[in-house]
Structure 1
Amino acid sequence: MKIIKEKYEIAKVTPNINNIVGWVIDAIKRDYQPPKGNIKRGSFNDYEQRSYDFDELEKKLLGWDK
């Protein structure tokens, strides 16, 4: 199970896998290793999140603040 989990984690960062079961079997047979190097990370969520007062926000969204 440990080996299967290890190969599945590698599959998560590997693009264009059409058949995950076949890929994992091949990864076990050929002993695929995790990629070395930088993993491309997007900057979509790379900003400071706003803090909200959820009670006040809920009142505004429901129109109760009027």
Structure 2
Amino acid sequence: MADVVSGGAKAADTPAAKKSEQELKADRLAGALRENLHKRKEQARARDESSQDTGEEGDGS
């Protein structure tokens, strides 16, 4: 009977450990996505600035 309790305790610890690993992974992913978003916004701003410098001649039909 002690084996059942011991096995049950290990099973209960495992989901909690996996949950924290999942949370850590989600936090890393969220950070990477934020960083990527900031990078893309900077690139878009740079493109906008360069198109304003040229006078936006490409839009004329």
TM, length-normalised to structure 1: 0.23
TM, length-normalised to structure 2: 0.24
Please state which structure has a larger fraction of its residues in helix.
2
Q: Look at both structures and tell me which one has the larger radius of gyration over its CA atoms.
A: 2
